[in-house]
Amino acid sequence: MDTVALIGYGEVGRILAEDLRAAGVRVAAWDLALAADDARAGAMRAHAAAQGVRLGMDAADAVAGAPLVVCAVTASQTLEAARSCLGGLQPGAFFLDFNSASPGTKAQAAALVDASGARYVEGAVMTSVPPHRIKVPLLLGGPHARALEAPLQALGFAARFHDQRLGVASATKMCRSVMIKGLEALVVESLTAARQYGVEDAVLASLQETFPGIDWQAQASYFFQRVIEHGRRRSEEMREVARTVAEAGLEPWAAEAIANRQARMADLADAGVFGQRGQPGFARSPDWRTEADRLRATCKP
């Protein structure tokens, strides 16, 4: 495959564009933010120009003629993103859905894509993209997944076939997210409250004794940073996780609470509580206490 279209040109899309272009692959892209004339759109255009990425006039234009489309948008936009591509998808093209959506949502997206003559493949991204870049562990699912495994590996993706049943790969990721995003939310809530009471050192010492394999000081700082920077995306993913749990017949009490905590942190970040996005120091403190104190300042005990 010598051409890849990216739907979503945020952090993940730009990382994939850089790695694909470095491998000599032609890349086209589209993002809803490009429809606006603001700083975010300007940054996307500048990045695309520097990388030699063709920006489409819309999603259908971006995917026209591409044998592979990679969709990496926020979870809430999964279906609309698939729908926006339908006018440009060529018959037989692969549509790789990177989005953190429930099995039910993925099934709906697959129905749209497959009805157009293209081939839908769900992709479950199993950890954070930035450290791994295009080599991030990726599970492939659905009836067309096996056929896409080798082409993706040839492009540099760390992709492996997981299951031919649509939804299994997504369920794997969603159930994992209950734990991972839940740990983030738990650490933020637990340690901020502990700091308010002046017992954070005792709490951390107890955690270290119970789970000695984790550097809790460093892990806490990392969790605070990730939630502050990406709470909006994480909260949307957790709404999809809640749907996944509900689709299994369970009450998604924990998933919904995690989504609320992540969303609240995103709201505070947008309001500038943790500094200004894009500026030095935003969510970059090496000590979680700095961010916890900023959060405490918004609390009303």
Interval 93-127: pLDDT, tens: 999 999 999 999 999 999 999 999 999 999 999 98
Q: Is residue 60's pLDDT more than 90?
A: yes
Q: Is residue 185's pLDDT more than 90?
A: yes
Q: Is residue 279's pLDDT more than 80?
A: no
At 205-242, the pLDDT tens digits run 999 999 999 999 999 999 999 999 999 999 999 999 99
Rounded Cα gap, residues 261 and 26, in angstroms: 40
Model confidence, pTM: 0.86
Query: Which domains does the chain possess?
Result: 3-166 (3.40.50.720), 171-296 (1.10.1040.10)
- pLDDT category at 12 given cuts 50, 70, 90 is very high
Helix (H), strand (E) at residue 71: strand 68-71
- pLDDT category at 55 given cuts 50, 70, 90 is very high
| Per-residue pLDDT, 270 | 93
| Per-residue pLDDT, 119 | 98
For residue 34, give the DSSP letter: G
Report the share of the chain in percent with pLDDT over 70.
100
- pLDDT category at 56 given cuts 50, 70, 90 is very high
Residue 138 near residue 121 (C-beta atoms within 8 A): no
Q: Is residue 26's pLDDT more than 90?
A: yes
At 135-170, the pLDDT tens digits run 999 999 999 999 999 999 999 999 999 999 999 999
- Beta-carbon contacts of 176 under 8 Å, excluding residues fewer than 6 positions away, are 126
Please report, as a single letter, which amino acid is at residue 103. Answer: P
Write b or e for each residue in 136-163: b if 16 or more Cβ atoms lie within 10 A of its Cβ, otherwise e: bebbbbbebbeebbeebeebbbebebbb
Q: Is residue 193's pLDDT more than 80?
A: yes
- pLDDT category at 27 given cuts 50, 70, 90 is very high
| Per-residue pLDDT, 159 | 97
Q: Is residue 278's pLDDT more than 80?
A: no
Residue 8 near residue 71 (C-beta atoms within 8 A): yes
Rounded Cα gap, residues 138 and 169, in angstroms: 9
For the chain, what percentages of helix, strand and coil (3-state, to nearest 5) are there?
A: 60, 10, 30
At 28-44, the pLDDT tens digits run 999 999 988 788 899 99
| Per-residue pLDDT, 22 | 96
Rounded Cα gap, residues 18 and 296, in angstroms: 39
| Per-residue pLDDT, 128 | 86
Q: Is residue 10's pLDDT more than 80?
A: yes
Helix (H), strand (E) at residue 207: helix 200-210
Helix (H), strand (E) at residue 123: strand 119-125
Residues 68-76: what's their mean pLDDT? 94
Which two structure tokens, joined as six digits, stand for 41? 């759109």
User: What is the greatest pairwise CA distance in the chain?
Assistant: 62
Residue 101 in 3-state DSSP? coil
Please report, as a single letter, which amino acid is at residue 241. Answer: V
**Cα torsion for 260, 249, 124, 69, to the nearest 10°?**
-90
Residues 274-283: what's their mean pLDDT? 80
- Beta-carbon contacts of 78 under 8 Å, excluding residues fewer than 6 positions away, are 71, 97, 99, 101, 105, 106, 109, 240
Residue 80 near residue 59 (C-beta atoms within 8 A): no
- Beta-carbon contacts of 42 under 8 Å, excluding residues fewer than 6 positions away, are none
Residue-averaged pLDDT of the chain: 95
Q: Is residue 85's pLDDT more than 80?
A: yes
